[in-house]
Amino acid sequence: MSKHSPAEYGLLAPEIAGPAAIQAFRKLDPRSLARNPVIFSTALVSLVATVLAAREAMAGGPNAFIGIQIAVWLWFTVLFANFAEAVAEGRGKARADAFRATKSAAKAKVLASLKDRTAVSARDIARVEVGELILVEAGDTIPTDGEVMEGVASVDESAITGESAPVIRESGGDRSSVTGGTRLVSDWLVVRVTARPGETFLDRMIALVEGAKRQKTPNEIALDILLAGLTLVFLLVVVTLPAFASWSGTQVPVIYLVALFVTLIPTTIGGLLSAIGIAGMERLVKANVVAKSGRAVEAAGDIDVLLLDKTGTITFGNRMADAFEPAPGVSERELADAALLASLADETPEGKSIVELARRRFDLAPAPEADAQFVPFSAHTRMSGVDLPGGEAIRKGASDAMAALSGAPLSPAVDQIVKRIGSSGGTPLVVARDRRVLGVIHLKDVVKPAIRERFAELRRMGIRTVMITGDNPLTAAAIAAEAGVDDFLAEATPERKLELIRREQSEGRLVAMCGDGSNDAPALAQADVGVAMNTGTPAAKEAGNLIDLDSDPTKLIEIVLVGKQLLISRGALTTFSVANDVAKYFAILPALFLAAYPGLGVLDVMGLGSPQSAILSAVIFNALVIVALIPIALKGVRYTPASASALLRRNLLVYGLGGLVVPFIGIKAIDLLVDLLHLA
């Protein structure tokens, strides 16, 4: 299970399968069955078959034994379909129990105002209103969702995200949102309540994960309508068969017609459809993503354009030392040694990366002389350095600051290096020893490893990637080329993001993006798939239709894969379900009408033992195939990036052809077993 789940259960582990078996019987409630027209029809027909079998048995009729067996297997068909849905729901409920365990029953420390933190009244969280202020101190559990109004503190969010490292939450900015059920590790916060009792983020997660509020997606509704239409068509076909049989002088027992109807309607996909949808939502939760609706998951599988922030998604975010470029007459090792000494007092990520690069490239160790005087990095001077005994001074800093320090313009060779680094999207830092320029350190916002390959993978799926950045066009173009994105939007503002999304949508494309700030909220709401970071503002989380608990922008790529897997799984099992009905025609129709129409013998390719065993074998196979496909419905069909035509060919070959061949083998094997046991 996910990081926050109590245990990792297998697909059909006893902890899940046991309660699901009980739930399968509870789902025989007509109100529950009515949500699925195919299984509801199967249940009604099973009831009819039970009545017919009972009447035949009391009358001592010749079809009593076969009628009872058909009725039993028809009820198994309904129960197996209920079991598939119950297993999917059970896995979600196991995760929901872990979330529910984090809910706090502690009293809230309500403040009268921001001005006085001593005026605190303890109150049950159920009596706290939206907009009120609560005080949370070190060791307290945050009782409800809110926005930090004052203070800075470390918050343990492991109960929600599974990550053990505390995160910083503070007033203002994009990290002001706190979630009920998390715990304050240090300091204190004043939080403004943003959710009513029962409507917190944790409450919504529990409801969504359990599937209690899962709404059918447009694709599911469309498929339901198609399956209901096929059920109606086959009902009309079966109802008219007795007239044709009577005209030809053949009497077909009603119990056989019941069996024919159930085996011809698409019971396989009808029984698995709900489980596929629930399992798709559950797979997202396993990836620490909560979907507010199944529509968002489906849309993720269909998106055409993926908008990604540069910082933190495509690049690491912090500029890192990439190379030492010495001036003429200076060795690279000499430059690296001076750069290392000048960076020892620089506690910024950039300074630390310079020390690391010097150590890695030349095995240099930071060993300054005992009487050295360090000059820390300052945003005012934009440089750092060290003064060595004897008056030698080493400095590193921005090119203009270093030129001012030396009192003369940079040499043409060094100036050319500075301009080249700047035009490539990097940051140049000049290093000088006693005002003699030794060379330039090349800092760059390093593109994440293998990100280019991931974008190539998305391109094979037919998805266009667009990098969004506040950088100038020149820098943006350089990073876009290195990362391998298809396009970029430089100097991006909230208005420009929104304009880009609307333009893409007006051309018929589905757009996905991620964000965490209040200024991202309009674009998140406009996008077909809006992924809000859990660390983001309440406005961003409200606007998005997916929430990433790990706050990892690269998760958007994983969400796309889950969405595509959901669509492919549904399509593959639908293809298999429709295809395997063909074999049942070859099993049941000759059994019913061979006596009246000897020409139908050519359809008896399986050579089944008797009409009774043929009908019973088809009914048994129809029930067992649902059980066999439950693991595929829950785990999903494996998705590999390919074009739509290639995916269609694979789908038809594996599940279309497989759906044709497997029933012939399965029904024949069951027929041999039925004959061996003399059940028919």
Q: Known binding site for Mg(2+): residues?
A: 516, 520
Within 10 Å of residue 161's Cβ, how many Cβ atoms?
A: 22
Distance CA 372, CA 146 (A): 49
Which secondary-structure segment (H or E) carries 230?
A: helix 218-247
Distance CA 361, CA 383 (A): 23
SS3 634: helix
C-alpha torsion sign, points 10, 16, 18, 24: negative
Distance CA 82, CA 189 (A): 48
Which secondary-structure segment (H or E) carries 395?
A: strand 393-398
Distance CA 381, CA 404 (A): 11
581 close to 263: Cβ distance less than 8 angstroms? yes
* Token code pair at residue 567: 């669509």
By the 10 Å C-beta count (0-12 exposed, 13-18 middle, 19+ buried), 175 is classed as: buried
Query: For residue 471, which amino acid is it?
Result: D
Distance CA 533, CA 175 (A): 10
Annotated binding site for ATP: 346, 350, 377-384, 396
The alpha carbon torsion through 396, 397, 403, 404 (nearest 10 deg) reads -110
SS3 610: coil
Query: For residue 209, which amino acid is it?
Result: V
Local structure of residue 311 (DSSP, 8 states): B
Residue in 291, 415, 439, 418 with CA at minimum distance from that of residue 354: 439
Q: Show Cβ contacts of residue 332 under 8 Å, excluding neighbours closer than 6 positions.
A: 324, 326, 361, 362, 439
DSSP-derived pairing of the beta strands 464-468 and 305-309 = parallel
Identified catalytic residue from 203, 309, 471, 552: 309
Buried b (16+ CB within 10 A) or exposed e, 33-56: beebbbbbbbbebbebbbebbeeb
Within 10 Å of residue 400's Cβ, how many Cβ atoms?
A: 12
Place of tokens 């094979």: 460
368 close to 408: Cβ distance less than 8 angstroms? no
* Token code pair at residue 89: 């729901």
Distance CA 190, CA 149 (A): 6
SS3 content of the chain, % helix, strand, coil (to 5): 55, 15, 30
Instruction: For the chain, give the number of residues.
Output: 680
Active site residue 140: no
Please identify every residue annotated as catalytic.
309
